[in-house]
Structure 1
Amino acid sequence: MTNNQSMLENEIRNALSAIHFSDPQHVPFQAFSREQWAKAGQAGLMGIGLPEKYGGCGGGDLEIAITGQVIAETCRDMGFSLSWLVQILVSRLIATFGTDTQQKTLLPQLISGKQIICFAVSEPDVGPHPKYLKTKAVLSGDHYIIDGEKIWITNAPVADMFIIIAITKEQQGKKYYSAFIVPAQTPGVTVSKPFDMPFFKTSPHGGIQLKQVKVPTSNRLGEPDGIYETMVIPFSAIENAMMMGPVTGGFEAQKTILMMHLKKKKATLPNELSFELAQLETMIYTAKLIVNKAAALARVSDSARESLFLLIFFRDLGKKIQSQIEKIVDLAEIQPGNVFKDILNDLECSRGLGEKSILQKQTRLGRTLFEAFSSEPGFNK
């Protein structure tokens, strides 16, 4: 870790301390809290990675990943960490693709924590697959008419605005997509109640229905007809990389709770427990190195393969870290409490999200490696 990274971690901890989220007596919320969100905005946490001229803190993907890690570790709240991360990443879409007017109008509200934005891509039964999405936006004079339905949107039930991905052209069997900024109060927009999920209690997820929703052409975000390739695909890859930060913070939070219970119970530590703790610390340190590398590659062109290597290894390492934590709990014969259990549940349940897609990519990667090796000149000699 560099001195700059250590300084950033300390700054984030100080900000969290100022709003009492790092108080050992602080109990994580059991549902999304607008009060908590507003305090985080006042402390500057909603401006990480966003332009300073609009009230942001500047910085890039590394700063976002580190902040997500510290928030999860300090607040001991994986749901809040996820909602925070998505808010930052979607706000960056405004900073990247938005017009000057869109940025001037929206970014100060998002950075201050006064408004919440989310990204609506996935649809019922088909997920985010571009071949099967149905939501359409039809140009009519100086506005678009949007019809469709989106689901599994992080922060949807509490959002003030959405970025909606919709078909704007179809040609020779191919669908072309554009992005639109749609305020939640727009006529024709119906937002679902929060989905009942067994994890991420403080990160509300929901859906949205759009029926004859009229938005001005000035609400289109980015260039028309090619946004799936330039916005949606990169967003998914960046989100996977950035989420490693909060996950690692979750491991750190569990370790901290574990150490507190060990210190209360044992004056000295047996050799076996000492060994296992050192092993755990080594694993978590390795996870942090992967987080740093993944963040560095997040927006580098032609880094998809290397980023996939890191993601595959991180997910496997995460399983081993969790097993190591549970091993120490059993060896020490301690009861780490409900907060520990909630973090454990969030990490275990969230591990299954996107797993099918990653396993498919891993299988394709292995096949590609095999085919490339077997076709080398002289292989059969």
Structure 2
Amino acid sequence: MIPAGTELAAYARKVIAPRALDLIRSDDFPWDIWKEMGESGWLGFGMGDDGGIEATPAELFDVAAAVAEAAEVVGLCTSWMTHHMVAGRVIAEYADAEQRPDVMPDLAAGRRSACIAISEPGAGAHPKRLSTRAEKVDGGWRLTGEKAWLTNGPIADIFVTIAITSEQGGRKRFGAFLVPHDAEGVSQTEGVKIDFAKPSGHCGLKMENAFLPDGAYLAGAGDAVETVLKRFRRVEDCIGLATKAGAMAVQLRRLAAILPAEKAVELGALDADRQLYLAGGRQLMADSGGDPASPEHEARLLALRRLGRRFGAAFAELKAEATGQDEFLDLLTRDLQQLGKVAERVDAAKLAKTGSALLNAAAAG
């Protein structure tokens, strides 16, 4: 882990962990912690220039896992890493020479934050179902549509929004736009109520003929489906493994304090699974940084997610053998179970496709 990451983990252990129970139950975002992290430079990992800290994909993974283990509150770590992923892996890479100085220093210092706006109500993030549109007009663009499931939306100043820029022969083309939270015609909606991963917040976004100047268009992103939508998902998947691995370590540490000594073998087996999950996730991130996608990448990701879900099921069984109570452990376990469900249906469809291919091959052969 890079030195700044070690300092952040120490800060999280000293300042955040003692407040863990209050934070995991609260709908109120801890602005005092966020401000201090920004002033210390800890909101600029992986952004490089413009006030940020250089970090390789593997280093970013290590920092995320270590901070999640030290802070204990997986929701707050999710907010922290979402900020980094949007600012460092989307805006920093696709903003031009005029856009960068306008937004990157403030993002790196935490004076502003960003979230990504892709998913839509009833449509999810599938490109064929997205309907938000951007119309080119004199001096800029007009955006109309609605977004949902926006992690960090309630604290965001900038929404990286994916919108249809043209359509020909039934094929949609998409662009990425920097949408200020206070632009005329832009409003936040409550969106889907999510009662887990607190204090990380979620909201929706509505744009009603909202005008954006030409400078809001991330021309460097090109086809935003490939460069933003798919790529961001891959990076998000990898970093998600890191934060969950850190949270697993917290689960085991807290469970050990209330578990009978005769359960040592079962506890050790779970820790072996956690270490495999951590090492596999780190290698996946190091090999590609979540990009580009490949059949091997997809298979390894699916296998790691399956391992994570098996860990969760086995942990729940072992936790039932505990001789004491830990309210924070109960809430953290609930959060991880709910987060594990987010991609469960998508993963099942991919596994079914692979299984069907094997069955068809066997029948034909």
1:71 corresponds in structure 2 to 67
SS in 2 for 1:351: helix
Assess, with a 3 A threshold, how the Cα gap between structure 1 residues 241 and 301 changes in structure 2: closer, same or farther.
closer
Q: Contact conserved, 2:46 with 2:60, CA < 8 A, in 1? A: yes
- The corresponding residue for 1:359 is 348
Q: Give 1:60's aligned residue.
A: 56
Q: In 2, are the aligned partners of 1:178 and 1:223 still within 8 Å (CA)?
A: no
State the Cα distance separating 1:195 from its structure 2 match: 4.4
Per mean C-alpha deviation after superposition, the further-off stretch among 314-323 and 121-130 is: 314-323
Q: How many residues align?
A: 362
2:222 and 2:134 map into 1 onto residues whose CA distance is 11
Identity %: 25
User: Relative to structure 2, which stretch is displaced further, 40-49 or 23-32?
Assistant: 23-32
Structure 2 Cα separation of the partners of residues 225 and 362 of structure 1: 31
Does structure 1 residue 21 correspond to structure 2 residue 47? Answer: no
* Residue 126 (str. 1) matches residue 123 (str. 2): yes
Query: Aligned to 2:320, what secondary structure does the other structure show?
Result: helix
Map 1:68-107 onto structure 2 (within 5 A).
68-92=64-88, 93-107=90-104
Is 1:112 the equivalent of 2:102?
no
- Shift in CA distance, 190/257, structure 1 to aligned 2, threshold 3 Å: same
Q: Which residue among 302, 305, 330 is the counterpart of 1:315?
A: 305
Cα distance in 1, alignment partners of residues 91 and 4 from structure 2: 24
Q: 1:12 — aligned with what?
A: 8
Aligned partners of 2:258 and 2:323 also within 8 Å: no
For 1:248 and 1:189, the matched residues in 2 are separated by 37
User: Which of 154, 179, 184 is the equivalent residue of 1:182?
Assistant: 179
Letter in 1 for 2:330: K
* 2:248 alignment partner, one of 251, 259, 265: 251
Paired residue type of 1:71: V
2:234 aligns with 237
Structure 1 residue 27 displacement after superposition: 4.5
Counterpart position of 2:137 = 140
SS at match of 1:168: strand
Does 2:160 align with 1:171? no
Distance 1:6 1:331 in 2: 38
Aligned partner of 1:276 among 248, 261, 266:
266
Gaps of 5+ in 2: none
Distance in 2 between residues matched to 1:303 and 1:179, nearest whole Å: 20
Change (3 A) 1:58 1:144: same
Is structure 2 residue 278 aligned with structure 1 residue 288? yes
Please identify the structure whose Cα radius of gyration is greater: 1
Task: Please give the alpha-carbon distance, in whole angstroms, between the structure 1 residues aligned to 2:18 and 2:321.
Answer: 28
Amino acid aligned to 1:352: K
- Contact residue 8 and residue 63 of structure 1 kept, 8 A: no
> C-alpha deviations, 1:105-162, integer Å up to 9, x for none?
2111111111110111111111111112111111112210111111111111221111
Contact 1:237 1:298 in 2 (8 A): no
Look up the SS of the partner of 1:35 in the other structure.
Answer: helix
Letter in 1 for 2:7: E
Provide the TM-score with structure 2 as the length reference.
0.91
In the TM superposition, residue 40 of structure 1 has moved relative to its aligned partner by 2.0
| Cα separation, partners in 2 of 1:218 and 1:6, compared to 1, 3 Å | closer
Correspondence for 1:37: 34
**3-state SS, counterpart of residue 204 of structure 2:** strand
- Paired residues of 1:166 and 1:179 also in contact (CA < 8 A): yes
Task: Answer yes or no: is 1:328 the counterpart of 2:318.
Answer: yes
Distance change (3 Å), C-alpha of 1:296 and 1:369: farther
Alpha-carbon distance, 1:25 to partner = 7.9
2:327 counterpart residue number? 338
Alignment partners' CA distance in 2, 1:193 and 1:301: 32
CA gap 1:14/1:232 in 2 versus in 1, 3 angstroms: same
SS in 1 for 2:341: coil
- CA deviation string 1:321-365 (max 9, x = no partner): 223333433334222x12111111111111111222222222223
Give the TM-score taking structure 1 as reference length.
0.87
Deviation at 1:38, TM superposition (A): 1.4
SS in 2 for 1:45: coil
**CA deviation map 1:183-207 (0-9, x unaligned):** 1010110112374322112111110
CA–CA distance in structure 1, aligned partners of residues 200 and 147 of structure 2 = 17
2:219 pairs with 1:222: yes
